[in-house]
Amino acid sequence: MRRGVAAAGPHGLCAARVAPEVTLPQGGTGSARNSRPWVVVAALGLCAAPLRAQPASSPPPGPASDLQAVDTPNDAGRSIRIAWKLSPDDLPGAEAIRAYYLERSESPSGPWTVVDSASAGATQKDDASVRRGRDYFYRVVAAGPGGSAASGAVGPAAARAEWFNTTRQSVLAFLVAFFLFVLYFIMSAQAGKQLFVRRIPGIDAIEEAIGRATEMGRPVLYIPGIQDIDDIQTIAGLVILESVARLTARYETPVLVPVTYPIPFAVAEEMVKAGYLHAGRPEQYDPTSVRFVSPEQFAYVAAVTGIMTRDRPAAHIFLGSFYAESLLLAETGFATGAIQVAGTANVHQLPFFVVACDYTLIGEELYAASAYLSREPKLLGSLKGADLMKVAVIAVVLAGCLLESLGRHGLKLWMQTQ
Amino acid sequence: MKREVPLLVTAVIGIFMILSFFVPHQAVSVPADFLLQCAVIVVAFGYVLGGANALRINIDLISKKAPNWQYKVVLLIGLLTMVVVGAVEGRAFQTPGTRFTWLYNQLYVPMQSTMFALLAFFIASAAFRAFRIRTAEAGFLAVAALLVMIGRVPIGNWATGWVQQLPPWLHWVQLPNVEEWIMNVPQNAAKRAILMGAALGVMATGLRVILGIERSYLSGEE
Amino acid sequence: MAGAGRFEGFDRRWLFLVVWILVMVPLVRPLMLPLVVTPPAQAYHDAIEAIPDGSNVLLSADYDPGALPELVPMTKTTLRRLFSKRCKVVVTCLWNGGPGVVDQAVRSVAEGEFHLTDGEDFAHLGYKAGNESVMVLMGQGFANAFPNDYRGRPTAAMPIMQRVRDYGSIAMLVSISAGYPGTKEWVQQVQARFHVRMVSGCTAVSAPEYYPYLRSGQLLGLLGGMAGAAEYERVTGLTGPATRGMDAQSLAHVFVAVCIIAGNVLQWTRRRAAAGGARGQP
């Protein structure tokens, strides 16, 4: 290997131009130790063509300059950010540079190991293979068809863990405001202040639907969505199930609850039991009313449409997270002549429910249902807190539009997170 | 105690996970990653619970010869066949040529596709039966729906191809352009509004669960 | 409410029959209707073409056989373009019913058409339970979240995984999704946090949900359903199953539009007849 001196680096080291017939640096540490250098380069490189010696038709490119290595901000100390100025030969369309190879060492004099690469035109790369707190030195090798050139080394730099991600200040501010709004309204509700909640016809219709099933002597079918418990819509659907079970217990009408996932299944069993208990009729609880069916979307649809056509429930209540099955369920339900109430926050499924069901809860109405049904002050407080937060969001959206129109980007930048 | 302990666990873990969103330090991020891994494992064990329930209820209904018990037999055969074949094939049960893969390709894939394909038929019947224009708003909705439906497919482009003969400033009336405008402007605005409202609803419900305000999902027993 | 299968004195199975005919006939005898490429599909193509040749790409194919006709064509076309650009592609699937279909699609292109080596040029890591948790875990390393690939081989030892470590080492994230978990979750959990360049292909029904992300620039391009897949085939100069299916979809859309109009006309005439009858009463 032959290297020619090009420029002095910050530690008295030299940037190097590598003659066309040579390959990239000697192996160093870690996984690269036993590999031939060009294999390492090829394995890590963004270029598919390995950086081997090329016929000497063009001179080696100029090196990258002004190298900087700093701890990547706002992370857990898992990476170091290396930035550089492009090689003077890295011009659009020139193709004198194929890639920049990032080399690392624990000493300013080497040995150097290729740790990552960036495509031509890139001026920054994070080295995510560092150990937290350890000092490293870096250099960048500009490589092209004519050979390669190493920049001067820079360092030492060490990765450190931060205690606060400063780019998330805006989220924290909104979260704190939201907490304060909710706590304020909860306290005022508990102090006896009457909180107005508008009428939601879809929720009022649930009792009507159960009453009708009772008149017809047929069961009520309740679907708490098709998602697992990690979807908050499923929790909302299961919370309403308790109120529905209470009503069915009072009316002595059976309720059928087919469930997709095992954990919502266990929760649904508890909810139905609780409903019967709170209605004062625990003995009427049927352990087969809640059924685990299948997490498979269409297997579940097949099972539920089977229940609809065979057991012919007179009321269908769909409250939770729904996808492509929404219309399959609602149309089959319509064909059986059942009264249908649906609610979901999955916006793209709302049109199907609106068309095929008698009543539909739209978006956040689903989350408001438990507060609406129970009228418990704490729950109503959280509902009002969310309303006030919505006003705050609208105000920020309007302010953002105005500032952006005036060419002021401060608010937008503050809202950007990483 | 039966309710207080789960409420405490929920509150502590919930607040800790919110904290992990703001604190990248390893003192928080490492336990948070561990909790995420735990969640995956707990969910996996939940399937045992679900499988046991499916077996218990269906065997019970078959033994009682409940109405339509034959369907339960089909369900149990399907359930047990896939589990047994997958277990017998061992670790490489998903490689091509195994019996499990055959069952997947020959039974599971066509049945899934068939169920999804039913949507085409159901959409037609729902459109005929339920899409009623009773008010001016419903009229606007219907017109927008028709423009988007036809504009999305080649026939919309074909039917309004003559627009290209008009002056360029009138090209926007070609159906694909109208459809794109509806999707980008009014549709997008309404969707964002509903999404923001729903996101606040999610936050409110999450907060209620974490703070123990919403506790009915835990159990009815005190 | 009417009885099963009937409404307003009309047996809906007639509608089903017409839909079936309108879908089947163009599949057998294509009408070759002209296809126009919409801006979201063009943007999807441009975003993929803009990544440097030989880059690392993560393709998350989050669907199952139900979405096969809509999403497999766009998965294959995307893979063809990526492999033509000599990209190294890591494929994941967060739907438990999907890895079989995804594996066939990936292998048919990678091994069948491009004769690439599994583990070196591409890797299919298969399914992992956990939805968003998996996306977050992948931020700590793909091999960390997927210790074994779809066929049970250790991923850490694969040559491709030496260069594709985490989100920092990919030039683009391609999310092809049929619902949850899918594009929305990838945007919220990964794009927003790691600022990865991202494009999405999705089922037609979920496309409207992703337009806000397209407008905000979080998604650089979007293919919506079979129409999006056909447009992408057109813009890449390939004719695939999506293009062939577009005639069928065209006629089906027209029929649904006719159903809406016919249903309203029918109701309007009945209402007029009823009003006329009422006026005629003494």
Nearest to C260 among B95, B146, B188 (CB): B146
DSSP 8-state secondary structure symbol assigned to residue A133: T
Residues of A in contact with C131 (CB under 8 A): 228, 230
- Residue whose tokens read 């997490």: A295
Task: Tell which of B85, B155, B195 to mutate to test the C interface (max C CBs under 10 Å).
Answer: B155
Can you give the pTM of this predicted structure? 0.76
Q: Which residues pair with A139 in a beta bridge?
A: A103
Q: Please check whether residue A403 is in contact with residue A156, taking contact to mean a CB–CB distance below 8 angstroms.
A: no
- Residue whose tokens read 């998350």: C60
Give the whole-angstrom CA distance, residue A361 versus residue A348: 13
For residue A395, give Cα distances in angstroms to A60, A170, A388, A399, A409.
57, 15, 11, 6, 16
H-helix or E-strand spanning residue A103 = strand A99-105
**Continuous H helices in chain B:** 4-22, 26-63, 69-89, 99-103, 109-130, 136-151, 154-159, 175-184, 186-210
Q: Which of residues 62-101 of C touch A (CB under 8 A)?
A: 64, 66, 86, 96-97
A237-296 pLDDT per residue, tens: 998 998 899 999 999 999 999 999 888 998 899 889 989 988 888 888 988 899 888 888
- Residue whose tokens read 């009427």: A284
Q: Does C1 touch chain A (CB under 8 A)?
A: yes
Q: Which residues of chain A have pLDDT under 50?
A: 1-56
Give the whole-angstrom CA distance, residue C37 versus residue C221: 12
Q: Please check whether residue A185 is in contact with residue A381, taking contact to mean a CB–CB distance below 8 angstroms.
A: yes
Return all residues near C178 (Cβ < 8 A) that are at least 6 apart.
Answer: A324, C62, C63, C64, C66, C67, C70, C71, C95, C202, C203, C206
Residues of B in contact with C248 (CB under 8 A): none
Within 13 A of B1's CA, how many CA atoms are on the CB side?
0
How close does chain B come to C194, measured CA to CA in Å? Answer: 13
Q: For residue A294, what pLDDT is reported? A: 86
**ipTM exceeds 0.85:** no
Q: Please check whether residue A85 is in contact with residue A61, taking contact to mean a CB–CB distance below 8 angstroms.
A: no
CB count within 10 Å of CB B12 equals 11
- Residue whose tokens read 């969310």: A386
Q: Which of residues 178-217 of B touch C (CB under 8 A)?
A: 180, 183-184, 187-188, 191-192, 195
A298-342 pLDDT per residue, tens: 889 999 999 999 889 999 999 999 988 888 899 899 889 899 999
Residues of B in contact with A261 (CB under 8 A): 46, 50
Return all residues near C158 (Cβ < 8 A) that are at least 6 apart.
Answer: C119, C120, C123, C149
Residues of A in contact with B207 (CB under 8 A): 178-179, 182, 382
Q: Which residues pair with A4 in a beta bridge?
A: A17
Nearest to B40 among C67, C133, C267 (CB): C133
Nearest to B25 among A161, A179, A331 (CB): A161
Q: Does B167 touch chain A (CB under 8 A)?
A: no
Return all residues near A412 (Cβ < 8 A) that are at least 6 apart.
Answer: A400, A403, A404
Q: Which amino acid is at C18?
A: V
Total residues found in chain A within this entry: 418
SS3 call for C73: helix
Give the whole-angstrom CA distance, residue C129 versus residue C131: 6
Q: For residue A109, what pLDDT is reported? A: 84
Reference C150, options C66, C91, C80; nearest CA is C91
Instruction: Give the neighbours of chain C: at least 3 Cβ pairs within 8 Å.
Output: A, B
Give the whole-angstrom CA distance, residue B92 versus residue B96: 9
Instruction: Give the neighbours of chain B: at least 3 Cβ pairs within 8 Å.
Output: A, C
DSSP 8-state secondary structure symbol assigned to residue C97: T
Radius of gyration of chain B (CA): 27
Total residues found in chain B within this entry: 222
Give the whole-angstrom CA distance, residue C8 versus residue C21: 23
Q: What is the largest CA-CA distance in chain B?
A: 78
CB contact under 8 A, C53 and A48: yes
Q: Which amino acid is at B105?
A: N
CB contact under 8 A, A43 and C159: yes
DSSP 8-state secondary structure symbol assigned to residue A166: G
Give the DSSP per-residue string, C166-217. Answer: SGGG-SEEEEEESSSSSHHHHIIIIIHHH---EEEEE-GGGHHHHHHHHHTT
How close does chain A come to C238, measured CA to CA in Å? Answer: 24
Give the whole-angstrom CA distance, residue A348 versus residue C237: 31
How close does chain A come to C5, measured CA to CA in Å? Answer: 6
CB contact under 8 A, C212 and B192: yes
Q: How far is CA C165 from the centre of its chain?
A: 26
CB count within 10 Å of CB A9 equals 22
CB contact under 8 A, C54 and A49: yes
Give the whole-angstrom CA distance, residue B45 versus residue C70: 33
Residues of B in contact with A165 (CB under 8 A): 21-24
Reference B100, options B115, B114, B74, B81; nearest CA is B81
Q: How far is CA C249 from the centre of its chain?
A: 15
How close does chain A come to B60, measured CA to CA in Å? Answer: 10
CB contact under 8 A, B188 and C211: yes
Output the six-digit token pair for A47. 């270029």
- Three-state secondary structure of C3-38: CCCEECCEECHHHHHHHHHHHHHHHHCCCCCCCCCC
Q: Which of residues 88-147 of B touch C (CB under 8 A)?
A: 91-92, 94-95, 101, 104-105, 108-110, 112-113, 115-116, 120-121, 123-125, 127-133, 142, 145-146
CB contact under 8 A, C203 and A47: no
Give the whole-angstrom CA distance, residue C216 versus residue C200: 14
SS3 call for C113: coil
Q: Which residues pair with A82 in a beta bridge?
A: A69, A125
Give the whole-angstrom CA distance, residue A211 versus residue C3: 21
More confident call, B97 vs B8: B8
Give the whole-angstrom CA distance, residue B23 versus residue B11: 18
Nearest to A164 among B23, B29, B130 (CB): B23
Q: For residue A399, what pLDDT is reported? A: 95
What is the phi/psi pair of residue C212, to 5°? -55, -40
Q: For residue A54, what pLDDT is reported? A: 43
Give the end-to-end CA distance of chain C in Å, rounded to a whole number. Answer: 30
Compare all CA atoms of chain C with the CA of A42 and give the residue at the minimum distance: C163
Give the whole-angstrom CA distance, residue C252 versus residue C16: 11
Nearest to C5 among A47, A321, A335 (CB): A335
For residue A383, give Cα distances in angstroms to A174, A379, B221, C77.
16, 6, 26, 47
Dihedral sign for Cα atoms in the order C114, C117, C123, C126: positive
CB contact under 8 A, B221 and A367: no
Q: For residue B111, what pLDDT is reported? A: 87
Per-10-residue mean pLDDT of chain C, 282 residues long, equals 50 88 88 84 93 88 88 94 92 89 92 91 88 83 87 87 82 92 91 88 88 89 91 86 86 90 87 70 44
CB contact under 8 A, A348 and C56: no
B38-66 pLDDT per residue, tens: 887 887 787 888 888 888 888 988 998 88
Nearest to B57 among A165, A228, A288 (CB): A288
Residues of C in contact with B183 (CB under 8 A): 208, 211
How close does chain C come to B123, measured CA to CA in Å? Answer: 7
How close does chain C come to A352, measured CA to CA in Å? Answer: 11
